Structure 1
Amino acid sequence: MSESYWFRQRRYGLGAFPANWKGWAFIGAYVVLLTGVMSWLTADTHDRHAHPLAAVGISIAMTIVFVYVCWIKTEGGWRWRWGDDDRR
């Protein structure tokens, strides 16, 4: 079974971008979940109070997991790239 990568390395700089629908779906799920959790935790309704510190902690944890999954699902790994001349 071949390994399926969701992201490809960038040509310049550090990081990756989606290589197929799974990468785009993962980014979309992250944005929707993060937005939902932040809206729920920062809403000050009549039956509960807002929890901004919990929102910050959860957003940091979600972002760490997001970056880790992107890193392990990137073809070629992450490192600084200089374009086509990648020998610097």
Structure 2
Amino acid sequence: MPRDDGYWFPAKRYGWGWGPPANWQGWSVVAAFAVLIAVGAALILPHSRAEFLGYVVVLCVLLTGVCWWKGEPPRWRWGGD
């Protein structure tokens, strides 16, 4: 099956999940994720590690949601695709 170039996050060749972003939209999502983690570390972490951990979990769930929405459909791959 040919790949759709509209995916922001292509599937990994081996295993389950997504690889590095394929275009600028995907890279901007990853950059925003990194910036939000850094901002949270600067603002939340000095006050409460538990709150920072919750913040990171929420950001990871949101990143996974964006990957699921704008990435190739996930399935287990063995490298032949």
**Could you state the TM-score of these two structures normalised by the residue count of structure 1?**
0.77
Other structure's SS at 2:10 match: strand
Residues 1:80 and 2:79 are matched in the alignment:
no
Which protein has the larger Cα radius of gyration, Structure 1 or Structure 2?
1
- The amino acid that maps onto 2:32 is A
State the Cα distance separating 1:5 from its structure 2 match: 2.2
Give the number of equivalent residue pairs: 75
Residues 1:19 and 2:16 are matched in the alignment:
no
- The runs of at least 4 aligned residues of structure 1 exceeding 4 Å deviation read none
1:37 pairs with 37, 40, 46, which one? Answer: 40
Distance in 2, Cα, partners of 1:26 & 1:42: 22
Residues 1:55 and 2:52 are matched in the alignment:
yes
Distance in 2, Cα, partners of 1:28 & 1:15: 19
| Per-residue deviation, residues 3-46 of structure 1 (Å, max 9, x unmatched) | x4211111111111211111111101101111111221122xxx
The percent identity for this pair of structures is: 37
Unaligned segments of structure 1, at least 5 residues: 44-49
RMSD: 1.3
Q: Indicate the structure with greater strand content.
A: 1
